[in-house]
Amino acid sequence: MDWVAVDWGTTHLRAWLMGGDAPVLRTSDKGMGALTPDGFEPALLALVGDDLTGPTPVIACGMVGARQGWVEAAYAKVPCTPPGIAQAIRVPTQDARLKMHILPGVSQDNPADVMRGEETQIAGFLASNPDFAGVLCLPGTHTKWVQISAGEIVSFQTVMTGELFALLSTQSVLRHSIGDGWDDAAFDAAVSDGVSRPQAIAAKLFSLRAESLLHDQSPNVARARLSGLLVGIELAATKPYWLGQQVALIGAPGLCAPYAAALSAQGLSATLHSGDDMTLAGLISAFETLKEIP
């Protein structure tokens, strides 16, 4: 093993053992949210310690560098290239085998916004698409819309669509109407409704409950309509980002597919890219720079 690539989020820790024929992925539920600052090194060693044979570079991105993380890595401010090893924080460790580096996130002053982890996915995307000029959409709990020009993050906007869907489908009155399945036609119609009438979202949401009570609306249709309405109002809010732009989606296939369908209905054909692949590519890009430092 030559080095370790780490994606450390709020709920999960993922580490790729790098070297040899192919990366070896190790996973843990020891995310940032479950740890105190003195718990990060033991959690990492529990995952990769048996494979360490000497001083080993470790490059990490994500919430590990948050204020509540292992060590805070100060944000780089837009406009900026995705921060790399030159901006990383070197973390002192008890175990001398760990040469720990944490990559910073990115911030924006006006309007106020932050990201941690997504900037590494952006770096991975730009490593293989250096001439890209357009918008990246990174669907997730907090979806990011990112304007890219000349290899820099120019501006970005975060939308809490994923979290809103989780809260409404599990903790609101709508939980009694939402199923686990899907309906493409219902999603498409709801996206159109959300884009064209975002101001009506509160009333449209309650109609999902009323439809199930009065007209036996399928729980699968209700789930697709809820998702479609939320994605629709997101597209309405972020129209200055995507309208007339080249758009690339970065994330899990299950998250990107609804966005691709919604954008297609607006006349845009977005390209899809694996979030895991882009994260690893971004960490590899940082390591390649580390190798160049004397």
Say yes or no to pLDDT of 294 above 60: no
pLDDT at residue 3, rounded to an integer: 97
- How far is it, in rounded angstroms, from Cα 7 to Cα 17? 12
Q: What is the percentage of the chain residues whose pLDDT exceeds 70?
A: 99
Domain that holds residue 102: 3-116
Specify if 180 maps to a domain: yes
Q: How many structural domains does the chain have?
A: 2
100 and 195 co-located in one domain = no
**CATH code, domain carrying 227:** 3.30.420.310
Q: Is the pLDDT of residue 167 over 80?
A: yes
Each residue of 182-225: pLDDT tens digit?
999 999 999 999 999 999 999 999 999 999 999 999 999 999 99
Average pLDDT, the chain: 96
Residue at 26 is within a domain: yes
Residues 102 and 183 reside in one and the same domain:
no
Q: Are residues 47 and 102 in the same domain?
A: yes
- Give the Cα separation of 169 and 151 in Å (integer): 38
From 60, 82, 116, give the residue that closes a domain: 116
Query: pLDDT-based confidence at 1, cuts 50/70/90?
Result: confident
Q: Does residue 148 lie within any of the structural domains?
A: no
249 within some domain: yes
Q: Are residues 170 and 249 in the same domain?
A: yes
pLDDT tens-digit series, residues 31-56: 999 999 999 999 999 999 999 999 99
pLDDT band at 293 (very low <50, low <70, confident <90, very high): low
Are the beta carbons of 154 and 147 closer than 8 angstroms? yes
What number is the average pLDDT over the span 56-67?
Answer: 97
Given this model, what pLDDT does residue 21 score? 82
168 inside domain: yes
Does the structure show a pLDDT above 90 at 260?
yes
In a domain, 292, yes or no: no
- The lowest-confidence range among 6-10, 206-210, 213-217, 287-291 is 287-291
Task: Decide if 285 contacts 59 (C-beta within 8 A).
Answer: no
104-159 confidence digits (pLDDT tens): 999 999 999 999 999 999 999 999 999 999 999 999 999 999 999 999 999 999 99
Percent of the chain with pLDDT over 90: 97
Long-range Cβ contacts of 103-106 (<8 Å, 24+ apart) = 103/59, 103/60, 103/61, 103/65, 103/73, 103/286, 104/65, 104/73, 104/74, 104/75, 104/76, 105/65, 105/66, 105/73, 105/75, 105/76, 106/75, 106/76, 106/77, 106/78, 106/80, 106/82, 106/153, 106/156
**Residue 104: which CATH number?**
3.30.420.300
